[in-house]
Copies of this chain bind each other. A is one copy, B any other.
Amino acid sequence: MSFVKRTIKCGELRRENIGQKVSLNGWVAVRRDLGGLIFIDLRDRWGIAQIVIHPEESPVLAERAKPIRSEFVMWATGTVRERESKNMKIPTGEVEVLLEDFGIINPSELPPFEILNDLDVNEELRLKYRYLDLRRPYLQEKFLIRNKLYQIVHKYFYENDFVEIETPVLMKSTPEGARDFLVPSRIHKGKFYALPQSPQIYKQILMVSGFDRYVQIVKCFRDEDLRSDRQPEFTQIDCEMSFVEQDDILTMFEGFLKLVWKDILNQDVQIPFQRMPYKEAMERYGSDKPDTRFGMEIETLNDLLTNSEFQVFSQTLADGGIIGGLKANGCGAYSRKQLDNLTEFAKKYGAKGLAYIKLNEGQISSPIAKFLSDTEMQSIIDKFDAKDGDLILIISDKWTRAYTILGALRLEIARLQGIFDAVKDKYNFLWVVDFPLFEYDEEDNRYVAMHHPFTSPKLEDLEILDENPGKARAIAHDIVLNGVEIGGGSVRIHDNAVQQKMFSLMSIGPEEAKDKFGHLLDALKYGAPPHGGIALGLDRMVMLLTGIDNIRDVIAFPKTTSGLSLMDNCPSAVDTKQLTELGVGVLQK
């Protein structure tokens, strides 16, 4: 054998081990030669052990230790003793190992960057040398938390009678095909598999098969322009349940999330979570994923301004739009420049302008003051209970856009005023429910499903489906934490007639429906149970659990925003011969 195997992990050394002879295996984190003493910090997944050599007492050992450098892999044998100067910041900090023998198992070249938690090199270099980057305890601990999350998923859902079932990775290209990754078939040339954007249809089919409850931690794929928080392959906790109503689903996942936050963060989350209809979320927070950790709620001012002579407002009201506002506490002294910045910010969300009322040093100033009566102005101030030093921001626009802009302004003000820092230890879970069933696609001039076409309408809205589909609500639910959507789902349609109706409302003809969803539609004919489910974004959950902003820090081997793997240089060119065998060719540019 080429090395002496460890008898204990580096990170597990404790006071109780004092006097024991131990062997360690690990990486040299630091080697410090103080002349009279040589220290070697040996690192493994569990932590760091301090090894010490007294050159005067052990001159041969000290000589042999001279070649040791950072990131060398070594074994070390010695006796555990109490440290003279303890480091109470690390769990092994009370003890050290007096070296008796050691061997270099594998040397290391000088790494391109030091293995430090607090690393200041560009991300590209880190990704190219991902094997070194991942050696940083800071990053490793994210994957240990990720691992813990996997185990909670496995255990919780098994105990709740869910069956783990794998659905195919090579599947049929779906209607949202433009985002599919395609895989040419060698046997059936000219035909393609697609990688799943989600196992939605398969999990519904498993319910039709009678598996009753399904869970899978599953890779999904989306070939779209990547934003910094997106990856071409991402992981979902995908679940489906039979013979349930929405409330059963929400309760099941509240139990799960409560357990996760308890086991991983030791946080006691209150259940049931608040449930907020989409309409309320938009009207109060200007978002379908509101951050409810702080107030600063939106107020709708329509009632106060019904007789307004200000043309912008009266026109908005005549068009059925919304005049809404929010109060930014303590922003009454915002400068012209700061207000201009806010206006620019609002314009990015489609605002035509931004009205405001400043209450500063006993003065009320507003560019719209001259268009409003004193009563109107006062009624707005009263509505917000605004005090000196406050700022009121007002937007007048169509329903969705008005609230969306105000929602964005609310978050921007919170950022500017340091509110996020103040609430960063809070975990506010929230269900958003009662989403609209459809969105109207102005471009295609038709209704499209807001979630997906298998989402069930609310039973009480079934009758308005024909006359007023835009008003119908879905039995859909998104789970939101601190303003981040971590998952969503719905009760599905189990009635073939309702499913056909949905397609017809979305102008999807019988032929098209058969071609695209034929097997699910067929399945619905043979006894589909009532069912519904949810999919949680696992990567995003890990980000929230670890307080990390960069999704690439919670994925072991991530792609860049342009879909590259810098470590192994993919995607890459392949032989023409190989492509010919697959029956495809690369188009000339």
A573 contacts the other chain (CB 8 A): yes
Minimum distance in angstroms from A328 CB to a CB of chain B: 40
Contact between chains at B182 and A574 (CB < 8 Å)? yes
Max chain B Cβ within 10 angstroms of own Cβ: one of A108, A163, A210 = A210
Contact between chains at B178 and A131 (CB < 8 Å)? no
Question: Given contacts A182-B183, A193-B570, A572-B173, are A167 and B211 in contact (CB under 8 A)?
Answer: no
CA distance A1 to B158 in the complex (A): 28
On chain B, the residues within 8 Å of A108 by CB distance are 525-527
State which residues 167-209 of A face B: CB under 8 Å.
167-173, 177-178, 180-195, 201-202, 205-206, 208-209
On chain B, the residues within 8 Å of A321 by CB distance are none
A376 contacts the other chain (CB 8 A): no
Contact between chains at B163 and A571 (CB < 8 Å)? no
On chain B, the residues within 8 Å of A72 by CB distance are 527
CB within 8 A of A45: which of B192, B212, B564, B568? B212
Contact between chains at A165 and B519 (CB < 8 Å)? no
On chain B, the residues within 8 Å of A244 by CB distance are 5
Question: Given contacts A459-B2, A556-B166, are A527 and B73 in contact (CB under 8 A)?
Answer: yes
CB within 8 A of A186: which of B150, B223, B233? B223
On chain B, the residues within 8 Å of A570 by CB distance are 170-173, 191, 193-194
Question: Given contacts A527-B71, A570-B173, A583-B587, are A188 and B25 in contact (CB under 8 A)?
Answer: no
Interface size on A, residues (CB 8 A): 125
Minimum distance in angstroms from A460 CB to a CB of chain B: 12
Contact between chains at A519 and B568 (CB < 8 Å)? yes
Contact between chains at B586 and A131 (CB < 8 Å)? no
A151 contacts the other chain (CB 8 A): yes
A201 and chain B: residue at smallest CB distance: B568
Minimum distance in angstroms from A457 CB to a CB of chain B: 13
CB within 8 A of A192: which of B223, B568, B572? B572
Question: Given contacts A182-B574, A575-B177, are A134 and B210 in contact (CB under 8 A)?
Answer: yes
CB within 8 A of A587: which of B173, B242, B571, B584? B584
Contact between chains at A165 and B147 (CB < 8 Å)? yes
Contact between chains at B105 and A530 (CB < 8 Å)? yes
CA distance A459 to B1 in the complex (A): 8
A132 contacts the other chain (CB 8 A): yes
A477 contacts the other chain (CB 8 A): no
CA distance A6 to B209 in the complex (A): 18
Max chain B Cβ within 10 angstroms of own Cβ: one of A107, A556, A579, A580 = A556
CB within 8 A of A211: which of B140, B154, B186, B189? B140
Minimum distance in angstroms from A259 CB to a CB of chain B: 16
Question: Given contacts A562-B187, A571-B192, are A71 and B556 in contact (CB under 8 A)?
Answer: no
A564 and chain B: residue at smallest CB distance: B188
A interface residues, Cβ below 8 angstroms from B = 1-3, 5-6, 25, 27, 43-45, 71-73, 105-109, 111, 129-132, 134-135, 140, 143-144, 146-147, 150-151, 154-155, 158, 163-173, 177-178, 180-195, 201-202, 205-206, 208-212, 219, 221, 223, 232-233, 235, 242-245, 248, 459, 494-495, 518-519, 522-523, 525-530, 555-557, 559, 562-565, 567-575, 578-587, 589
